[in-house]
Amino acid sequence: MPQTEPLREEHPQYLVTFREPGPAGARALTEVIRAPQLVGGEPTVGVSEGRIVLAQHLGVHARVYTRLAVAATNLTPAERHALQAHPAVSGVYLNERRRLPPFLRHGLAGGEGGARELAPPAGDDPRRAYLRGMRDLLDLLLREDDGSAAPSARDFAVQERWEARREQGPGAARIEAALRQIGVSPDAAPNGGEGVRVAVLDTGADLGHPDLTIAPGNSRSFVESEPDAQDGHGHGTHCAGVIAGAAQPQGVPRYGVAPGATLLIGKVLSRRGEGFDDQILEGLAWAVGLGASVVSLSLGSRRENGAPYSGVYEDLAQNLLEEGVLLIAAAGNDSARPRFVAPVGNPAACPSVLSVAAVNQWDQVAPFSCGDTDGVGAIDLSAPGVGILSAVPGGHERFSGTSMATPHVAGVAALFKARRPELGARELWAELLRTARPVAGRREDVGAGVVQAP
């Protein structure tokens, strides 16, 4: 979003979804809140990028995203009630905060450093204790999986040597084990995914990283306090690298699934890894306007067992499927298997959002990966999510989480879309499920299986 736009500092309280895309939603909202459409004046106000801005209402401009069929606004209780009863409106929801799932950072590529959390929360954050427990449980389970012969989660130098012994053959050292796990050959075309635009809505990206090609105009920040898309956190860069890291990165094996895909980097989360739905909607509208056909969402919020999925994300995801845009989201990292399994978080729990679980290098569900515990949030696919190598600002590191599994699926989606451009979003989803490699485990944990490249 341009730095001069006053809407950057506004915080709408509600999101309104409409039954169909187009200007009808803006007319319905105008009818209820009596805020006329702004035309002329500032170049950033009015009809642009598929959004209509209405005059300030209760201190906030109403923003209608016509292609997403959703609006962000403030409302009085009477207006909220009137909109809920309006025939053009499908729902009225609170503008909620979303965050990165808690995940593990294992240190520099090659095994330097121990596992640690990436997010830099200040003070006594309960996530620290949670992540330490998750790390220790992961170590224990990895050792148990192979009778203590397998490497621990914190010793990735040993793991790389172990993987090299396990995978002998031409080109094995040129490609990361996670890519072999999803069926990417060491001799795969370096331009896989060419012509497909994949949006990464996250903490931004290292715009100068040598492994990432991000064209001018293909990155933008929607975080009011951080006006450019440069990644001050690391998570977004890592996800972008998994999707489209270079085919021949310097000093490490290839780890990018679809090096030829075009990255669209939308910073919708701050350097602390958090942001509101209206920021995510701004980023989504921008990406769709630039032609994204796949959107990777390694973000969300926890959902209590039996709680409903997010209405606002389900409504917009349904609309985007019809527009040819597939949303792929991380299931969440709130489990501590085998002690307990947490339900899939939002927005991954939505039926029209493809949800991704994480598996380890032996195709076993990762101990932190959320599952379908209540029949509300299903797992659709799984992908490698333990000890994943990718780019970070200034280098490469290994992370663990469903956040890392999600961009593997997004990258494979780009490979399929590049080979068969005629595939719509629903057909692309069906092809990903049809070609997945079945693995041991419950469907509630791994979905249709591990995603496979074409």
For residue 281, what is the enclosing H or E element?
helix 277-289
Cα–Cα distance between 34 and 385 in angstroms, integer? Answer: 49
Catalytic, out of 235, 238, 396, 408 = 235
Polymer length of the chain: 454
Known active-site residue 235: yes
Cα–Cα distance between 112 and 45 in angstroms, integer? Answer: 49
Catalytic, out of 86, 90, 202, 221 = 202
Checking DSSP bridges between strand 116-117 and strand 104-108, what pairing results, if any?
antiparallel
Helix (H, G, I), strand (E, B) or coil at 106: strand
Known active-site residue 202: yes
Cα–Cα distance between 88 and 80 in angstroms, integer? Answer: 14
Question: Which has the closest alpha carbon to 176: 428, 443, 391, 414?
Answer: 391
Return the structure tokens found at 73. Answer: 């606004």
Question: Which has the closest alpha carbon to 264: 297, 287, 298?
Answer: 287
Catalytic, out of 231, 233, 403, 408 = 403
Name residues whose C-beta falls within 8 Å of residue 123's C-beta, 6 or more positions apart in sequence.
none
Name residues whose C-beta falls within 8 Å of residue 380's C-beta, 6 or more positions apart in sequence.
354, 355, 356, 429, 433, 447, 448
Cα–Cα distance between 179 and 433 in angstroms, integer? Answer: 18
Residues with a known catalytic role: 202, 235, 403
